[in-house]
Amino acid sequence: MSSFILGRIKSIVYALKGFFWLIRNENSIITQVIFAFGFTILGFYFQIDRFEWALQVLAIGLVLAIESLNTAVEKVCDFIHPDFHSKIGLIKDIASGAVTFAVFTAFIIACLIYIPYIFI
Ligand SMILES: Nc1ncnc2c1ncn2[C@@H]1O[C@H](COP(=O)(O)OP(=O)(O)OP(=O)(O)O)[C@@H](O)[C@H]1O
């Protein structure tokens, strides 16, 4: 097998290792996964259409991906500077701010999808 293909396979294995680590150990990711299951049940309950499913899956993926990157930033911060430092605090706050953008976007998408089903 060429070293290119072998390299790609190794990358996928490492990525899956990170994926499973996150859903086993990281409370914020576990919480978001529970929310994702909740909204999936809601989607089946209200029989949302294909376009709404696509938007919902995109919103869930966006939140999980940004939350995962936020976790990575926190880990780097704790590794390079385990003690309290105002700059570390700011870096962590900014990474959390990125999650807030994603959650806010997902909230708007959820409102656009479900408000018509619930109230109209
Ligand atoms: N080393 C530090 N120096 C200064 N402020 C910090 C430091 N560590 C954390 N903080 C502050 O505490 C907040 C929470 O940090 P923390 O690393 O506990 O993340 P978290 O959002 O609670 O994530 P998790 O629940 O996944 O641990 C940061 O956003 C930052 O404001």
Domains of the chain: residue spans and CATH: 26-119 (1.10.287.3610)
With a 6 Å cutoff on the Cβ, whether 49 touches ligand 1 is no
pLDDT score at 2: 87
Give distance in angstroms: CA of 112 to centre of ligand 1: 32
14 is in an annotated binding site: yes
Per-residue pLDDT of the chain (120 residues; tens, 9 = 90+): 689 999 999 999 999 999 999 999 999 999 999 999 999 999 999 999 999 999 999 999 999 999 999 999 999 999 999 999 999 999 999 999 999 999 999 999 999 999 999 997
* Distance separating alpha carbons of residues 93 and 66, to the nearest angstrom: 13
Phi, psi of 38 (to 5 degrees): -55, -45
Choose the residue to mutate in 28, 30, 69, 74 for probing ligand 1, maximizing ligand atoms within 8 Å of C-beta: 74
The whole model's pTM is what? 0.92
